[in-house]
Amino acid sequence: MELQPVYIQILALILFALGIAVTLSRRNVFFVLMGIELALNAVNLSLVGFAKTLPAMTSITGQIIPLFTIGVAAAEACVGLAVVILIFRSQDSVDIDTYSNMKG
Amino acid sequence: MIPLWLIPLFPLVGTLILAVISISSSTSKKGANEGLVGGIAVLFPALAFLMVLLLSFGLPDAGYRETLCTWFDIQAIRADFGFLFDGLSRTMLLFVTGIGTLITLYSTGYMHGDRGFARFFAYINLFLFSMIMLVLSDSLPLTFLGWEGVGLCSYLLIGFWNSDLKNCKAANKAFIVNRVGDLGFLLGMLALVSVGGISLLSYPELAAWLVNPAMGEQLMAGMPLLTLAGLLFFFGCTGKSAQIPLLTWLPDAMAGPTPVSALIHAATMVTSGVYLLARLSSLYAILPEVLMVITFVGLATAFWAAITGLLQNDIKKVLAYSTISQLGYMFMAVGVVAFDVSIFHVFTHAFFKAALFLGAGAVIHALSGEQDMRKMGGMLKKTPLTALVMIFGWLAIIGFPGFAGFWSKDMILEKLYVSDPVSGPILYGLALLTAVITAVYMTRLMILTFLGKYRGDASAECHIHEAPASMLIPMLILSVGSAFAGFLWAGLIPGAEIFREWLAPVLSTAQTMALGGVHEGAPVSPWIFAGLGTAAALIGIAIAWKLYSGNVPAPKDDTVPKGKAADWTFFFDKFHNICGIQETRLVAWFLDVVVNRFIMLLQWFVGAIAIILSDGVRTFQVRKIRLQMGFSILGMILVIVFVALYGGSL
């Protein structure tokens, strides 16, 4: 039985929903970052899945773009972790709810 | 021919130079060099006087008229910078610039050592500039510019010593009372324009329009408005020339330095009202009702001020009330269509009142600032030259035969007598009575100041000194003027009427038109009038001698009259208080309490709405990062749903 593209999309949707749910529900900043990564990769998976439905010559473009996205996401995760470390130094906490200087 | 705009230009340049000097020296401790400043301050008015003198010779009957440029030209209103130099403005300018120069020269001595020396002379030059503009302009709007200018400068100069709150209040009073009169001037212009269009604002065109037979019907139709215009202009003149009801500012204006008082009373400011009436003579000639009002106002003012002069203890206040009284005479003369006589009295009055004020200034200067006559006395021996000047001025103002005031005042009295067979003699009698009172209070001033023994502090006595030459020279020139200026139009001497001939080209048309059918020839010999006038002066002297020599009121702390005297003196202040100030206060209270509160309520309402709304919005902006993120995702979902439903093509 051949892999239907719709299953790939369903998987991507489940992964994306999990990512968002983790991002919103966890208070630990590392879990939030991981949730964001998961949602991002779910989108990559969705892109590859759609690319697979196209003819071979154009399908290759859709499979290459996620590679770039992964590269960019790595860089972004790098910066994000650095920021988290700096915030941790000043706040002495990984709890995202305490990360605020705003009044009100 | 010398261009006319040079005359006002000189004092204006003087003002600018002195203002620059004054500002640039404001940080230095000593102030600018007094010799330099004084030189500049006297030079420019003197140059203006020279220009006027040069222009005065060989003046054609029609005068010179030149238009410099368009001042402003908006829809419906157009005004030009135009100058008119004819018999009337020549006469006015001769003494405005001449006496103005003398007073400026005197001030260089009087203001010696004052920290605001340069500033003072900048103001004086601006004052003369404004007055020249007022007199020289050929249209009402430009006259109004000068009219406002003298009001501003009087404010600046009365409040010159502005560290004293009393002086500032006096300056404010002068300015505000004058503004009330200015309203009359403005509305008068408006009334004129509404009768016959914008061209009526120009003096020659107004005169031509009024006598143009083709305009007869339009003139008759516009008569009520013209009467209103006449009354309004007269109201404006009562403000500037201190007549009932707007006369309270002039006595208070004594707060300024004495040369300023001399300038306001003799050369500039108060004469402008009489000038305006003479300038509009062709208008007033056709308004007999307004002339009647003017006569009665003049008479009432002259009488009231003469009585008030009797009650004053401050030497400058006496002179102030005497000015009001003399202005009353001038208005009476205008009221009986003797415009030329009125201007003649302005002319002679300028000499003797300037002499009196400068003399009083020299006395005050000698006594180190003492103005209370009860603390003077015996100045005749200590300052003989000042006393001589004052005696000349005194003889002139009471109308002693031969002196300037005698000729002009007698002529006014005579005109009053012949003005009407019924009311004329009554007016004459009241004016003559006023002349007696004038003699009484002026003689009282002289007795208290110059005769008897010195009654002031012993410490001040050793400082008493004659004024310096820069003050004495103008005083002596003016005293000569107050002795002989009257001979320019000596009614009793045949042929001695140069002054009348000067004014005739401008004023005679209006005067003959107004007098029309009235019988002109005096039924009584002029010698009888002269004799009665002399008798009035002598009786006044005798009464004053009887009452005041050897009977000096005891000095008190201040010079303000008390009791009944205060009731009389401040009658018009109280009158203003009741019908004017209280009403204004009421309106102000209404605006403050009702309108202001209402606006505050609206303001508060708008503010409250904003606060309530923002409080609601603020609760979304809490410091929960995850909640914010949730909101942004929710927003994104909403956008997607929206796009999915409507396909992006709303």
Taking the C-alpha atoms of residue B331 and residue B407, their distance in angstroms, rounded to an integer, is: 17
List, for chain A, all residue ranges whose pLDDT scores fall below the cut of 70.
1, 101-104
For residue range B489-532, list pLDDT tens digits in order. 887 777 777 888 888 888 887 777 777 655 555 567 778 888 88
The DSSP output letter for B580 is: I
Mean pLDDT of B451-457: 80
Q: What CA–CA distances, in Å, run from A21 to A2, B335, B544? A: 31, 102, 112
For residue range B547-562, list pLDDT tens digits in order. 887 767 676 767 777 7
For residue range B632-643, list pLDDT tens digits in order. 889 999 999 988
Taking the C-alpha atoms of residue B190 and residue B194, their distance in angstroms, rounded to an integer, is: 6
In total, the C-beta contacts within 8 angstroms joining chain A to chain B are 25
Name the average pLDDT for chain B: 87
Record the tokens describing residue B378, joined without a space. Answer: 């015996």
The pLDDT, as a whole number, for residue B516 is 63
DSSP B228-275: HHHHHHHHHHHHHTT-TTS-THHHHGGGS-HHHHHIIIIISTHHHHHH
Closest residue on chain A to B628 (Cα): A24
Question: How large a percentage of chain B has pLDDT more than 70?
Answer: 96
Q: Which letter, b or e, does each residue of B615-629 get, where b requires 16 or more Cβ atoms within 10 Å of its Cβ?
A: eeeeeeeeeebeeeb
For residue range B584-612, list pLDDT tens digits in order. 999 999 999 899 999 999 999 999 999 98
Mean pLDDT of B276-286: 90
For residue range B562-587, list pLDDT tens digits in order. 777 788 888 888 888 888 889 999 99
Taking the C-alpha atoms of residue B15 and residue B129, their distance in angstroms, rounded to an integer, is: 9
Taking the C-alpha atoms of residue B417 and residue B429, their distance in angstroms, rounded to an integer, is: 9
The pLDDT, as a whole number, for residue B157 is 92
Look up tokens 């093509």; give the residue.
B649
Mean pLDDT of B344-366: 91
The pLDDT, as a whole number, for residue B649 is 67
The pLDDT, as a whole number, for residue B149 is 92
The pLDDT, as a whole number, for residue B246 is 87
Mean pLDDT of B285-306: 91
pTM, full prediction: 0.79
Q: Which domains does chain A have, with CATH numbers?
A: 8-96 (1.10.287.3510)
The pLDDT, as a whole number, for residue B464 is 81
- Whether pLDDT at B12 is above 90: yes
Q: Say if residue A26 is exposed, middle or buried (CB neighbours under 10 Å; 0-12, 13-18, 19+).
A: middle
User: What is the CB neighbour count within 10 angstroms for residue B23?
Assistant: 12
ipTM of the complex: 0.75
CA nearest B480: which of B575, B554, B393? B393
A24 closest CB neighbour out of B618, B623, B629: B629
Q: In which element (H, E) is residue B84 found?
A: strand B77-85
CA nearest B273: which of B298, B296, B253? B298
A104 closest CB neighbour out of B618, B626, B629: B618
- Whether pLDDT at B17 is above 90: yes
The pLDDT, as a whole number, for residue B521 is 55
The pLDDT, as a whole number, for residue A104 is 47
Closest CA–CA distance from residue A65 to any residue of chain B (Å): 23
Backbone torsions φ then ψ of B129, nearest 5 degrees: -60, -50
Q: In which element (H, E) is residue B67 found?
A: strand B64-74
Question: How large a percentage of chain B has pLDDT more than 90?
Answer: 37
Q: Tell me if B625 and A102 make a contact (CB, 8 A cut-off).
A: no
Domain ranges in chain B are 579-646
Record the tokens describing residue B348, joined without a space. Answer: 């002679």
Positive or negative, the CA dihedral B45, B46, B51, B54 is positive
The pLDDT, as a whole number, for residue B345 is 92
Taking the C-alpha atoms of residue B580 and residue B164, their distance in angstroms, rounded to an integer, is: 26
Closest CA–CA distance from residue B631 to any residue of chain A (Å): 10
Q: Which 106-125 residues of chain B touch chain A by CB within 8 A? A: none
In sequence order, the β-bridge partners of residue B137 are: B83
The pLDDT, as a whole number, for residue B303 is 92
Record the tokens describing residue B239, joined without a space. Answer: 């403000």
Tell me which chain B residues have a C-beta less than 8 angstroms from the C-beta of A80: none
For residue range B618-633, list pLDDT tens digits in order. 777 666 778 888 888 8
Closest CA–CA distance from residue A36 to any residue of chain B (Å): 11
Q: Which letter, b or e, does each residue of B181-205 get, where b requires 16 or more Cβ atoms within 10 Å of its Cβ?
A: bbebbebbbebbbebbebebbbbbb
